[in-house]
Structure 1
Amino acid sequence: MKDFQAMWQKVQLFYHGILEKGDKRTDNWLLVYSPVPISCVFLCYLIIIWVGPKLMARRQPVNLRPVLIVYNFAMVCLSAYMFYEMARVCWWFYFSKVIELCDTIFFILRKKNSQLTFLHVYHHATMIFNWWAGVKYVAGGQSFLIGLINSLVHIVMYMYYGLAAVGPSMTKYLWWKRYLTTLQLLQFFIVTIHTTYNLFADCDFPDSMNITVLAYSLSLIILFSNFYYRSYLVEKNKKT
């Protein structure tokens, strides 16, 4: 019993340490002060991925064309706003990662289960925690560059998805999907180079955060490179 109480006290101290060591300016922001709410969002996300396809198995795909058009172009506008005002909207960038979990829900409702790849789930699920930590502990400074680049990429990405949602009539104008993936890879290389430089530069940005960002960027380079290879190079060889 005493061992359990001692362990519980350590857990409490660790949890309070997480709460109190954050940036005090962001304590009152939605989903920021404690990791519990965003962890609940994450668990709900995993439950939806597990249960959703089972619930949709005997149902017809849901026609979400109007919703997708509004959603994707709304994300274009939000990404453009964040790109323009990045230094001021760190929280909005974090919250946009929560909104983007809708991407997965739309795939499930449309019975596009082939889109629920490890890359898709890993990227969406981890970004909410990465940016929770970013807003909680380092809201500003070097964090803005990552958000700035990613917002620019998402302007292009959601523009593509928005046009694709219009229907088959737009297919002939969407030949540039391969270059969208290239742009996504380019952002990860830029973040990797920038973060590596930060590790050796005289900068107050925490090295622990730099190491986390570096490891995460490298993981995305590997996963997106594999996606690029399988989607464009292997498929091209099959056609020839």
Structure 2
Amino acid sequence: MQIFYLTSINMDILNSIVIHYTNMMALGDPRVESWAFMGSPFPTLMTLTAYFIFVYNGPGIMKDRKPFDLKFILIIYNFFMVFLSFYIFVEIGLGGWFTDYSLGCQPVDYSNSPKAIRMARAIWLFLITKYIELSDTVFFVLRKKQNQLTFLHVYHHGWLPFSWWLGVKFVPGGFGTFHAWINAFVHTVMYLYYGLAALGPSVQKYLWWKKYITTLQLAQFVIVITHTSQIIFLRDCDYPPPFAYAILIYTLSFFFLFMKFYRKTYRKTTSVQEEGKPSTFYKNGLVRNGQSNGFKPKNN
């Protein structure tokens, strides 16, 4: 009798979960239902599960192996990401932010108008880049750059695919897309630096602006936090507040993590330079920006 009672309770819990899940999915935007990854959250969750398993086991698998030479692949990858990020920046802009979107309250346009569909597709493509960017971590592991698998790096790459899946599924337009628009621009600049730096020493010597990558990322967070904070005061805004609060919370977390990283790294760099020692340069980006995906450091 007790076993039957416990089984009945478990079935009630399971049925409740199924009902809540079904009700939640019914609230999704039907326009994106047939797009890749958007039918259910499980492909995204499985992708992220595989990602975290790889992060945990990858360094051990590579321990007794030689690092892969991925220079050519990284050059192609970085310049591809420059093109894709800039394309998304333009598309999100033409979908609203270059035209008639308001920096204040901006509801989601759920219609089938060409402009509304353009914004939804641009945001979906932005989500796709978050899956692609998991490759940054794969490159670290395959090249045995395990010191770059920091909490900041894994948290940043591991969180965004799921958070933006929710955004595309339920609010593919309006207020929250400002964050994606700014981020696409920052990634255009960031991957341009990585791509140029990956070309080798003949190009690296002209990359005087390498130290401003982290500054640009921090500025991005400040802009997004300032914009998103409006939701606290926009009482009559027809945009779901939970999504804005989610953007605000994780952007704040990124800001503090990047700021901690910035202070630690640049304070160390300054002290090293004051001692007359060469600073550290990374062929395919700076580890100090928390986002690099390339070659091992060498002294200039």
TM-score using structure 2 length: 0.78
Q: Which residue of 1 aligns with 2:261?
A: 227
The equivalent residue for 1:73 is 79
- Give 1:116 shift: 0.5
Q: Is the 8 A contact 2:176 2:247 kept in 1?
A: no
Counterpart residue number, 1:189: 222
Which runs of 5 or more residues in structure 2 are unaligned? 1-6, 96-117, 275-300
* Residues 176, 244 of structure 2: 8 Å contact kept: no
Q: Could you tell me which residue of structure 1 aligns to residue 13 of structure 2?
A: 7
Partner of residue 185 from structure 2, selected from 125, 139, 152? 152
Partner of 1:165: 198
Aligned to 2:54: 48
Q: Which residue of 2 aligns with 1:131?
A: 164
CA contact (8 A) 2:186 2:216 kept: yes
Q: Can you list the C-alpha shifts for 1:89-129, whole angstroms capped at 9, x where unaligned?
A: 11100101000000000111111111110000000011101
Alpha-carbon shift at residue 134 of structure 1 (Å): 0.6
Q: Which amino acid in 2 is paired with 1:126?
A: W
Amino acid at match of 1:162: G
| Deviations 1:12-52, CA, capped at 9 Å, x for gaps | 11221231111111111111121111000000000111121
- What amino acid does structure 2 have at the position aligned with 1:184? Q
Corresponding residue number in structure 1 for 2:250: 216
Shift in Å at residue 80 of structure 1?
0.8
SS of residue in 1 equivalent to 2:239: coil
Q: 2:241 & 2:265 partners in 1: Cα distance?
A: 36
Choose from 192, 201, 204 the match for 2:238.
Answer: 204
Asked if the contact 2:48/2:158 (under 8 Å) is kept, the reply is: yes
Would the aligned equivalents of 1:83 and 1:152 in 2 still touch at CA under 8 Å? yes
Write out aligned runs for 1:7-156 (5 A).
Answer: 7-86=13-92, 87=95, 88=118, 89-156=122-189
Contact 2:176 2:243 in 1 (8 A): no
Greater helix share, structure number: 1
Q: C-alpha distance in 1, partners of 2:207/2:18?
A: 52
Shift of 1:198: 2.5
SS in 2 for 1:28: coil
Structure 1 position 218, deviation (Å): 0.6
Task: Summarize deviations over 1:148-169 as a string: whole Å, max 9, x none.
Answer: 1001000110011111211233
Q: Could you tell me how far apart the structure 2 residues matched to 1:178 and 1:205 are?
A: 37
1:239 partner letter? Q
- The Cα shift of 1:144 comes to 2.1
Amino acid at match of 2:14: W
CA shift, 1:199, in A, is 2.6
Which residue pairs with 1:180 in the alignment? Answer: 213
Q: Tell me the SS of whatever aligns to 2:174.
A: coil
Could you tell me which amino acid in structure 2 is paired with residue 60 of structure 1? K
**Which consecutive unaligned segments of at least 5 residues does structure 1 have?**
none
Cα drift, residue 172 of structure 1: 1.6
Q: Report the residue type matching 1:225 in the other structure.
A: M
Alpha-carbon distance in 2 for matches of 1:18, 1:181: 38
Is the 8 Å Cα contact of residues 199 and 210 (structure 1) preserved in structure 2?
no
RMSD, aligned α-carbons: 1.1
Distance of 1:198 and 1:4 partners within structure 2: 39
Provide the aligned length of Structure 1 versus Structure 2.
240
SS of residue matched to 1:154? helix
